[in-house]
Amino acid sequence: MSRVVTQSPEVLGGEPVFAGTRVPAKSLFDHLEAGDSIQQFLEGFPSVKREQVIALLEESRAHVLAAP
């Protein structure tokens, strides 16, 4: 799926999560949409590393900018 997000039927029913955690990747985007900062997200999910958040945002940006 990605280098930061993994997906397995055994973890949260197959929902994409940050690698090595049970934190759904969607929760980052939900928090950002609600106006939370990355730091606020990280405080709520201490198992996620800042590097993972930045990497996911970079992958998302690359995906959007590569779209035709």
Q: Are 5 and 17 in contact (CB under 8 A)?
A: yes
| Residue 2 pLDDT class (50, 70, 90 cuts) | confident
Q: Are 21 and 45 in contact (CB under 8 A)?
A: yes
Which residue type is seen at 65? L
pLDDT tens, 5-43? 999 999 999 999 999 999 999 999 999 999 999 999 999
The predicted model gives 39-51 an average pLDDT of 97
The predicted model gives 42-57 an average pLDDT of 97
Q: From CA 43, how far away is CA 63, in angstroms rounded?
A: 27
Rounded to two decimals, the pTM is 0.88
Domains in the chain (CATH in brackets) are: 5-66 (1.10.10.10)
